[in-house]
Every structure is written in structure tokens, then in C-alpha cells.
Amino acid sequence: MSAKIRLYVEQPLGQGQSVPLTREQAHYLFGVMRQSVGAQIALFNGRDGEWLAEVSEAGKRGGVLSCLQQTKPLQLPPDLWFLFAPIKKARTDFIVEKAAEMGAARILPMQTEYTNSERIRQDRLQAHAVEAAEQCGGTFVPEVAELQKLDRVLDSWPQDRQLMFCNEAEVGSALRLAAQEKGQPWAILIGPEGGFSDQERARLTALPFSHVVSLGPRILRADTAAVAALTMWQQALGDWF
């Protein structure tokens, strides 16, 4: 049994559990989607898998859903961080959405020397990650971190986490991902629209956990590079196969 509408909630989910709706959720279900008492909704919270729930109370400002049965167990993504430099608002939203859909466990906006945007709305980007998980059928929502300076992140980098460094200056080179071991902690880093600075590129290349990769013979836009890099990593080391 499956429901057409999926909704992320904060509350615990379990057999017979009652889940109160926020005003925004009630407006979406009953005002926008025209659901009513007895309708069935799929719920997930990032911890308890997916549950089929039934609307037991419906109102303009709230409502209550009752959990009936679990339909999916919690499905964790690979231990993959996705690092990127924010760009224009709509394209940054796109990058976060695709990273969530394509299996990133944590999304980290980075401020590099050539980053165009010096601030982000972390709460808005987190909401986009939630929406992406609702749409793609996932049961896990990646954390979207606050904007951080790249140098500071590298200074405290966990030594067991490998880094796939997507360097636009390395056109024609190839990373032998197939030779790497699956199941290890990884991260992917793509740069800003202006590329990495010479100093950043030198540091990233010299790191012992860094693996330099080319995304092909053409320089890609940042949002295109995000999808290309995630696809490359997933095919070789992720949970697609």
C-alpha cells in the first residue's frame, strides 16, 4: 500500500503514533492538496523509516495523522559530504536539491576566494533538502551546514575521509574511482563560478587525502558540475549498484 503524498515531520513515528500537523502542513494537505479525514499520507522523519498514516483530524490551522504501518525502513545514504561554493540563489537551491536527491549525507556550503555569495539562508536551503527528500522517496534528509570558509574546514578535516577534488584546471585527467574501496567516508568538492585560486588549488592538490578529478574536456557551470560529480562518484563508489 502506498500514498501519493509524502510529508517530512519532526515527531517520532511508530505503530499507533499520533502526529500533530503544523499550520503550514495543514494548509498544504487540506488547502492545497484537498485532503480530508481518512486520506492516507506517507510520513518520514529521517530516523524511523517511512510510515503510512491516515488523517484523523483536519482543520484550516492544524490536524492530526495516525500512523498505520511502516512502509519502508530507514535507508541511510553513503557516508558522503558534498562541498560547494554558493552561486546565484536559484542555482544554489538547485545544487542543494540535487545533492539531496543523489545521496549526499551532508551538504556544506563553502566560502572560497572567488565565491560570489558571502551569505546564505541555511534554513531555506535545509527546507529545499527536505522537499527533495519528500519528492524522491528518500527516508533520510541530509544536514545543510552553515556557510564556512574552505580553509577552516580543511584545517579540521578528518584524516579518514577521502576528498574528490573537482579541479577545472585538470581537464583530461581521470580519477580511478573504480580502484577505491567502497564504504569509506568520502567528500566531493566543486568550486565557484570563478574557479579555485592558485593557492587553493595548490593546497587541495597536496593534501594526502585528496584525489584530483576532471569532469571532462569542457568547463561546466557549477550546478552542472554538481550533478556530474555526484553521478561519477555514485556510479563507482555509491549505492546505485
pLDDT in tens, 161-203: 999 999 877 754 555 665 677 889 999 999 988 889 999 999 9
Q: Specify the long-range contacts of residues 28-34, CB closer than 8 Å, at least 24 apart.
A: 29/5, 29/55, 29/58, 29/63, 30/58, 30/59, 30/60, 30/63, 31/60, 33/5
Nearest Cα to 201, choosing from 229, 159, 169, 225?
169
The per-residue pLDDT for 175 is 55
Q: Output the CATH code of domain 80-237.
A: 3.40.1280.10
Burial of 12 (0-12, 13-18, 19+ CB in 10 A): exposed
pTM: 0.92
Mean pLDDT in residue range 21-43: 96
Residue 41 bridge partners (DSSP)? 53
The per-residue pLDDT for 43 is 98
How far apart (Å, rounded) are the C-alpha atoms in residues 104 and 83? 10
The residue to which cell 483530524 is assigned? 57
The per-residue pLDDT for 216 is 85
How is the beta sheet containing 40-44 ordered, strand by strand? 6-8, 40-44, 50-58, 63-72, 18-20
The per-residue pLDDT for 218 is 85
**Which class does domain 6-72 fall in?**
mainly beta
pLDDT band at 1 (very low <50, low <70, confident <90, very high): low
**Span 78-127, pLDDT tens digits:** 999 999 999 888 899 999 999 999 999 999 999 999 987 778 899 999 99
Spatial contact of 237 and 177, defined as CB atoms under 8 Å apart: yes
Query: Which residues lie below 8 Å from residue 27, measured CB to CB, with a gap of 6+?
Result: 60
How far apart (Å, rounded) are the C-alpha atoms in residues 124 and 93? 9
Spatial contact of 138 and 96, defined as CB atoms under 8 Å apart: no
**Span 130-147, pLDDT tens digits:** 999 999 999 999 999 999
- Domain extents for the chain? 6-72, 80-237
Q: Give phi and psi for 20, each to the nearest 5.
A: -75, 145
The per-residue pLDDT for 118 is 72
Average pLDDT, rounded, for the chain: 92
Please tell me if the domain spanning 6-72 has the same topology as the one spanning 80-237: no
Nearest Cα to 197, choosing from 144, 151, 134, 146?
151
Secondary structure (3-state) at 144 = strand
How far apart (Å, rounded) are the C-alpha atoms in residues 187 and 204? 13
**Span 201-227, pLDDT tens digits:** 999 999 999 999 988 888 889 999 999
What distance lies between CA 37 and its chain's CA centroid?
A: 33
